[in-house]
Amino acid sequence: MKSILITGGSGRVGKIIRKVAINFGSNHLLLALIAKNFYKSILFLQKRRVKLLKIIYPPDPKNRLLNLGGGGKWYYPRWENIDFYQKGVYVDYQFDLRSEKKLLFSNESVKAIFTSHVFEHLPDNSVIFLLRECHRILKPNGVLRISVPDMDKAFEAYYNKDFKFFDMGGGRIIGDTLERKLVNFFASYRKGKYRGGPIVEPDLVKHKLKKLNKHDFTEWCVSLIPKNAPYKAHINAFNFEKLSNFLRKCGFSIINKSKYRSSKINVMRNKEFDNKPVISLYIEVWK
């Protein structure tokens, strides 16, 4: 089956206008408006295309394929997307994965589950609850593929003074020192116009790195997020050991460390699935 990649977002409309204004000057506002309307037309056609594809390739209710937290612009034929975004063309089920409520599927009705860069947005108790739900709804021999930012890779990059890991790894990591970038890798939020990680003095970060183990250090980073921040993004951190322990606690026993686009399930090797290979940990488990 031919793969289908859908990307985009409303924020790009403003970026188009600003880019045109910067490159061509304010006298070219008409050109910017044309670019804006052209982009809106593309989004409209993409949505129409996805609606048609969902009719041609409907999901199989007896062998469901789920993407948990796929975002507001993800689609792949026969797959269903569960996210907190408003239900629409791309989101089949609007559901808060932090709610610790049962997923809307019967026992052993799902053939495969994919989730990418979601668990770092959830506290431990919500991750464990969600993993138990995945185990409940998966069929025997069903597969769960998980990707998260890799805690161990981040620490290795810090100690190797690898700025490129933080700057070009696929995440939005800010900071003028490696210490601030490391903190932002594990903890991020949005408040007003600010979007990034807690701003910490580098010497304090170095002190905490000497004093704390890696898990306690990441929890310290998260504790620095302002309590009144309206949106908290990264609030958790994982390595293979921690996530494997959670999976075993939730009933999974066949736990494999995987690589970028190396799933044992053919469909999950497509470009619509794994991303951010530089910073990610990939795990594939079987029921």
State the pTM of this model. Answer: 0.86
State the pLDDT at residue 255: 98
Place of tokens 């470009």: 271
Place of tokens 């190797």: 160
- How high is the mean pLDDT of the chain? 90
Q: Which residues pair with 83 in a beta bridge?
A: 94
State the pLDDT at residue 18: 57
Confidence of residue 40 (pLDDT cuts 50, 70, 90): confident
- Which H or E run contains 153? helix 151-159
Least confident of 76-90, 106-120, 211-225, 253-267: 76-90
Res. 239: pLDDT tops 70? yes
Edge-to-edge strand ranges of the sheet holding 110-116: 93-94, 80-83, 64-68, 110-116, 138-149, 280-286, 254-258
Confidence of residue 120 (pLDDT cuts 50, 70, 90): very high
Contact 281, 150 (CB under 8 A): yes
Rounded CA-CA distance 198/200 in Å is: 6
State the pLDDT at residue 81: 97
Please report, for residues 83, 150, 174, 280, the alpha-carbon distance to residue 200 in angstroms, rounded to integers and kept in the order given: 32, 22, 12, 25
State the pLDDT at residue 7: 38
Average pLDDT of the residues in 179-193: 97
Contact 247, 214 (CB under 8 A): no
State the pLDDT at residue 13: 54
Rounded CA-CA distance 222/245 in Å is: 21
Contact 228, 258 (CB under 8 A): no
Edge-to-edge strand ranges of the sheet holding 194-196: 194-196, 189-191, 231-232
Res. 10: pLDDT tops 70? no
Contact 90, 75 (CB under 8 A): yes
Confidence of residue 43 (pLDDT cuts 50, 70, 90): confident
Confidence of residue 186 (pLDDT cuts 50, 70, 90): very high
State the pLDDT at residue 275: 95
Average pLDDT of the residues in 102-126: 97
State the pLDDT at residue 42: 75
Res. 8: pLDDT tops 80? no
